[in-house]
Amino acid sequence: MQLKRVVVTGMGALTPIGNTLNEYWEGLLAGKSGAAPIQQYDASLFKTQFACELKNFNIEDFIDRKEARKLDPFAQYAMVSATEAVVDSAIMESNPNLDRIGVIWGSGIGGLKTFQDEAQAFFGGDGTPRFNPFFIPKMIADIAAGHISIKYGFRGPNYVTVSACASSTNAIIDAFNTIRLGKADAIVTGGSEACVNEMGMGGFNALKALSTRNDSPETASRPFDLDRDGFVLGEGSGALILEELEHALARGAKIYAEVIGGGMSGDAYHITAPHPDGLGAKNTMLAALDDANVAPSEIDYINVHGTSTPLGDIAEVKAIQQVFGDHAYDLNISSTKSMTGHLLGAAGAIEAIACIMAVQHDIVPPTINHFTDDPELDPKLNFTFNAPQKRTVNVALSNTFGFGGHNTSVIVKKFSK
């Protein structure tokens, strides 16, 4: 069977450093930090009192107030970025076959804010079981995909992937495979997350996963720095329109890049810690390279998982050096989480977008907040510290790893016929 080629024809982003695709990209190149003291609730009693929240965002600028109340924030964010991507792609202007357009979305947690609000209302009341009729439809992780498909009438494959922080990269890989197998003409894919709330922050604090650098939030996410002390929680959404090449060409679509491979693996090691030698990370990158039929020497840029945790950053670098050997020194490596924070299930989507934009513009976004070299990391590696770097980026790889040992990598390249 001849596999179809898959291209990216639309994108949308709603992030802590920009509320549109272009604002997000400009924020990355400017080395903008999205971290600041939490505004959504009183965080004074929490170990971590800051996060990468959305800025100047009002859902009623995008969705009618009555309809917005039926959506958990994670689904609201999904609708905003998906709408931007659909409009950007102009796919609806070509009278497409809606039976062959699907939605494959990712979210690691789903409607956590809704769950928190309903639990507080019940347990803080008199015990009478009164629940909002939208409680379940707002909370369940698959509902974002449902709402996107309902808005546009997309009747193709429709589901959500849940693999913690790897969720949206899993969604992108599934969308890629669905299209190249000829089972859809186009897929809206990506991911969204909205966990900057008391339960989200409190839960990650209990795991000792978050930075507690309350005196300097904007510098708290510092991947590969000696003094990194945990990740910074972020929120938002990223969306991509993946489309079969001939379908895109037939309607005259603009093409950002081509998706050429995806890899997945399991650490089979620990529920939260990575394999110390990066075994799972190594395997997923090798799988992606094999799937894409490209040699390690062809990769120009890796957007790493790079969460700013003491163990995770080292394990990923070990994996990169095992996979790429001497070519590792010719790569640009960067962690855009240094700017956006960690968007959990949405991280893979916005980081794949960063890779696509790097391929388009031949510039690598930086890893900001580097102050002190870590002696455990090879100083000859190029982590793109503190400023973007111009270079030819023909092929880029994005890594995303999740609690439970879920590892994913996706590869994109410059498009040529």
Hey, which residues are catalytic here?
165
3-state secondary structure of 126: coil
Task: Answer for the pair 335, 368: CB distance below 8 angstroms, yes or no.
Answer: no
Beta-carbon neighbour count of residue 44 at 10 Å? 9
List of residues 6+ apart from 195 with CB closer than 8 A: 109, 112, 201, 233, 235, 344
Q: Where are the alpha helices (DSSP H) in 69-133?
A: 73-89, 112-123
* Nearby residues of 389 by Cβ (< 8 Å), 6 or more positions away: 332, 363, 364, 366, 382
Distance (Å) of CA 215 to CA 49, 50, 220, 319: 10, 10, 9, 33
316 Cβ contact partners less than 8 Å away, ≥ 6 residues apart: 274, 278, 281, 304, 305, 306, 399, 401
Residue (of 268, 169, 232, 199) closest to 369 by Cα position: 232
Across the beta sheet with 301-303, the strand order is 158-161, 101-106, 186-193, 236-244, 6-14, 257-266, 406-413, 395-402, 301-303, 332-334
The residue among 185, 193, 186 whose CA lies nearest residue 72 is: 193
CB 312 within 8 A of CB 274: yes
Q: Report the C-alpha gap between 190 and 345 in whole angstroms.
A: 9
Tally Cβ neighbours within 10 Å of residue 58.
9
